Amino acid sequence: MAIVMDADRVSRSLARIAHEILERNRGVENLALVGIRARGVPLAERLAAMLRDLTGAEVQTGSLDITLYRDDLMRHAVGPQPVIRRTEIPFSIDDKLILLVDDVLYTGRTIRAALDALIDFGRPRAIQLVVLVDRGHRELPIRADYVGRNIPTSHQQSVQVRLAELDGRDEVEVEG
Amino acid sequence: MTTATALRSRHLLGIEDLDAAEIDLILETALAMKEVGARPIKKVPTLRGRTVVNLFFEPSTRTRMSFELAEKRLSADTLGMTTVGSSVVKGETLSDTARTIEAMAPDIIVMRHGSSGAPHQLARVCKASIINAGDGTHEHPTQALLDAFTIRERKGRLQGLRVAIVGDLVHSRVLRSNLWLLTKVGASVVVCGPATLVPPGLERMGVEVTNDLDRALDGADVVMMLRVQHERMHGLFLPSVREYFTLFGLTPARMKRAAPEAIVMHPGPMNRGVEIDSDVADGPWSVILDQVANGVAVRMAVLYLLAGGEDS
């Protein structure tokens, strides 16, 4: 029931992450952002805009749907298949530093799928992970390079990220 | 229109059983699948560990290859069976074949058969999901879906378009599936063919019927040509190839009656100089090769959506 991040906090976190990206990579040369659908996409676009404001350089942005790489699709009798959205990566990722962007980091399984998907597009120089919220409970050896906020949760809770582009307002809520 | 997130049936036996929302779901999924075909590595692990059996009781090149490619791009294990020789395999033989195939525990069976209703019979006895790849003169659902996908890609919509379908109407399963699909999504359809090749009762499906090609083409946004089988030329149906071409052959001059930017489609294989002039088939209107390319994406979408259905 608790709102753990409001619009101000979301945008301050993203601004800090944009600075961290510049500091760690000494600029934006050969860097591209790939957002994981659905909410990683607007986050990636916002980071691209912030990086442009800071450096004057355009950062290429793509979107990735990981459905075809999910590890739970092949379980029989799991019900209807998830709806697939389009993947759009309109540039070569070869030798680039790819910043993979998602809203919530939880078990790590989405990121595992995203890494497999990305590698089918080419051979990036490196991949770094950006998340708005890290809620813990990893089931795979995966960690984020840039985190908006660490939020301790229980398995029973759910974390809802709402973004103006898709949901009309920016906020992060922990439910249950 | 409400948006569907799943297909209601675990089989795809015909377009007749689908509603507009399910058709939209398949076409949207196909859009995502088409992107896979544009990648450097044109393969995703989605159906890894699933087995698909391609059961073709009738000769087919493009449909079988298209399904095979779709299956491979989704990483399914595929095996094929093509029966050569006897064109009619019915009754007990089909059930026996079904039992044999069933013993190999496939997840999906893609079936083409010369008898209408054969895939339905298989669906009753098999645990696998059945995809109809053409049954007799009944339906060829994936062809109609790839046609719709191609129209949407070119025209941005299906609703409200004027579609003319021309040729051998009576023997065509492609026609039947397209009629179901186009009327469900709100396109306006006119069909045209020689009187001997027009089945009765088409008007009841809400389509216009004419024997005059010029009338059918008037203002058409989409022209679908159906294959005329040579073997029917010498029988009761048609007097001669030349007469057929004069009356029903699609030429550049006749295309002038169609709407500006009209597109021409053909499910293949084409008979150049019979139902379609080469200048049309290779001309600016033609989207015939797009249809072939889109067929793979549409079949990937159908395979993906059926692979998730729960056991019933």
Tell me, yes or no, if A75 comes closer than 8 A to chain B by beta carbon.
no
- With bands split at pLDDT 50, 70 and 90, how would you rate the model's confidence at B97? confident
Tell me the β-bridge partners of A150: A134
Q: How close does chain A come to B242, measured CA to CA in Å?
A: 47
A134: phi then psi, degrees, rounded to nearest 5: -110, 115
- With bands split at pLDDT 50, 70 and 90, how would you rate the model's confidence at B53? very high
More confident position, B81 or A176? A176
Does the pLDDT value for residue A174 go beyond 70?
yes
Tell me, yes or no, if B46 comes closer than 8 A to chain A by beta carbon.
yes
Q: What is the pTM of this model?
A: 0.91
Mean pLDDT of B238-256: 91
Inter-chain CB proximity B28 and A88 less than 8 Å? no
Whether B12 and B302 have beta carbons less than 8 Å apart is answered as yes
**Structural element, H or E, at residue B176:** helix B173-184
- With bands split at pLDDT 50, 70 and 90, how would you rate the model's confidence at B229? confident
Mean pLDDT of B211-227: 97
Inter-chain CB proximity B7 and A79 less than 8 Å? no
Does the pLDDT value for residue A77 go beyond 50?
no
What span, in angstroms and rounded, lies between the C-alpha atoms of B295 and A133?
Answer: 41
What span, in angstroms and rounded, lies between the C-alpha atoms of B173 and B163?
Answer: 17
pLDDT tens digits along A111-133: 999 999 999 999 999 999 999 99
Inter-chain CB proximity B41 and A121 less than 8 Å? yes
Whether B163 and B224 have beta carbons less than 8 Å apart is answered as yes
pLDDT tens digits along B152-171: 999 999 999 999 999 999 98
Does the pLDDT value for residue A19 go beyond 90?
yes
- With bands split at pLDDT 50, 70 and 90, how would you rate the model's confidence at B235? low
What span, in angstroms and rounded, lies between the C-alpha atoms of A5 and A10?
Answer: 6
Where in chain B does DSSP place strands (E)?
Answer: 51-56, 77-82, 108-113, 129-135, 162-166, 188-192, 208-210, 222-225, 263-265
- With bands split at pLDDT 50, 70 and 90, how would you rate the model's confidence at B92? low
Residue B85 has a pLDDT of: 47
Residue B88 has a pLDDT of: 44
The SS3 assignment for A27 reads coil
Q: At what angle do helices B62-73 and B141-155 cross, to 10 degrees?
A: 80
Place of tokens 């979107």: A63
pLDDT tens digits along B256-291: 999 999 999 999 999 999 999 999 999 999 999 999
Tell me, yes or no, if A120 comes closer than 8 A to chain B by beta carbon.
yes
Whether B178 and B13 have beta carbons less than 8 Å apart is answered as no
Inter-chain CB proximity B25 and A83 less than 8 Å? yes
Residue A97 has a pLDDT of: 98
Q: How close does chain B come to A113, measured CA to CA in Å?
A: 10
pLDDT tens digits along B108-152: 999 999 999 999 999 998 999 999 999 999 999 999 999 999 999
Does the pLDDT value for residue B1 go beyond 70?
no
Taking residue B34's Cβ as centre, other Cβ atoms within 10 Å add up to 19
What span, in angstroms and rounded, lies between the C-alpha atoms of A161 and A159?
Answer: 6
Taking residue B247's Cβ as centre, other Cβ atoms within 10 Å add up to 15
What span, in angstroms and rounded, lies between the C-alpha atoms of A148 and A130?
Answer: 8
Mean pLDDT of B33-38: 94
What span, in angstroms and rounded, lies between the C-alpha atoms of A64 and B87?
Answer: 46
Residue B248 has a pLDDT of: 95
What span, in angstroms and rounded, lies between the C-alpha atoms of B98 and B282?
Answer: 42
Does the pLDDT value for residue B71 go beyond 80?
yes
The ipTM is 0.85
Per DSSP, helices labelled H in B74-159 are 92-103, 118-125, 141-155
Closest CA to B178 of B279, B266, B256, B300: B266
What span, in angstroms and rounded, lies between the C-alpha atoms of B15 and B140?
Answer: 8
Inter-chain CB proximity A83 and B310 less than 8 Å? no
Residue B96 has a pLDDT of: 81
What span, in angstroms and rounded, lies between the C-alpha atoms of B76 and B55?
Answer: 15
A11: phi then psi, degrees, rounded to nearest 5: -75, -30
Contacts of residue B308 in chain A, CB cutoff 8 Å? 73, 78-81
What span, in angstroms and rounded, lies between the C-alpha atoms of B202 and B189?
Answer: 11
The SS3 assignment for B56 reads strand
- With bands split at pLDDT 50, 70 and 90, how would you rate the model's confidence at B87? very low
Whether B104 and B53 have beta carbons less than 8 Å apart is answered as yes
- With bands split at pLDDT 50, 70 and 90, how would you rate the model's confidence at B56? very high
Mean pLDDT of B168-181: 95
Q: Count of A–B CB contacts within 8 Å?
A: 65
Residue B232 has a pLDDT of: 61
What span, in angstroms and rounded, lies between the C-alpha atoms of B91 and B96?
Answer: 9
Mean pLDDT of B87-109: 77
What span, in angstroms and rounded, lies between the C-alpha atoms of A50 and B56?
Answer: 57
Residue B209 has a pLDDT of: 97
Mean pLDDT of B196-210: 92
